Amino acid sequence: MEHRDDVGAKLGMWIFIFTEILLFGGLFLVYAIMRNHYPTAFHQAAHHLNAFIGTLNTVVLLISSATVAMSVTAVQKGDRKLAVILLFITLLCAGVFLINKYFEWGHKIHIGLYPGSDLMISLDRGWVMFFSLYYFMTGLHMLHLVIGGIILTVILFKVRSGSINAGKFVLLENGGLYWHLVDLIWIFLFPLLYLIT
């Protein structure tokens, strides 16, 4: 039987996740409106995104979602060592995602494809809207990913020390839920930005 505090913690996490979905849902709505208003510019600008890196990052995050879910099962079965390994793999995937995004952003900034650059000022307003939304949405997603990485790092040490165990693992479950949210957001961002051209 679940402890009352555990039920409250899970409910709190679900409410938080709902507010995050509302936030990103609003951004997706703005994206849809702007895409409808500037279809040609959005189509042309999207061709400057690297679909290979986007696909690679999608695979990396899907793997990380699987490993964080498996870490919960490992803790429930009392296999602390396996849980730590799985959480480490999750964090490694997060690092790979951030490195890929660093190179992707770095390339675009290097060639001047960012809001406020001389190149962007000379382009159609639709291009500015596309890249403004691209940087804002992927940047906000990266912020969530970094926060999730910090949370999972703390959880990893708690699993390792035994304070998260088979009888007390709601923190790991909530950390996993947050991580799934980060992955879910990317699952929507990836096709909207990289594939629908």
**Helical H segments across the chain, by residue range:** 4-37, 39-46, 51-76, 80-110, 118-122, 125-161, 170-190
Task: State how far the Cα of 63 lies from the Cα of 128, in Å rounded to an integer.
Answer: 33
Task: Indicate the pTM of the whole model.
Answer: 0.90
Closest C-alpha to 74, from 53, 60, 62, 88: 88
Residue 27: per-residue pLDDT: 95
Task: State how far the Cα of 39 lies from the Cα of 95, in Å rounded to an integer.
Answer: 34
Q: Calculate the alpha carbon distances from 138 to 131, 134, 144, 156 in Å.
A: 10, 6, 10, 26
User: Which domains can be identified in the chain, with CATH numbers?
Assistant: 4-195 (1.20.120.80)
| Contact present, 160 and 80 (Cβ < 8 Å) | yes
Residue 1: per-residue pLDDT: 45
Q: Per DSSP, what are the bridge partners of residue 168?
A: 165
Over its length of 197 residues, how does the chain's per-residue pLDDT go in tens digits? Answer: 445 567 888 888 899 999 999 999 999 999 999 999 999 999 999 999 999 999 999 999 999 999 999 999 999 999 999 999 999 999 999 999 999 999 999 999 999 888 888 888 888 889 999 999 999 999 999 999 999 999 999 999 999 999 998 888 999 999 999 999 999 999 999 999 998 76
Task: State how far the Cα of 52 lies from the Cα of 110, in Å rounded to an integer.
Answer: 19
Task: State how far the Cα of 58 lies from the Cα of 195, in Å rounded to an integer.
Answer: 12
CA 20 to chain centre: 12
Q: Per DSSP, what are the bridge partners of residue 165?
A: 168
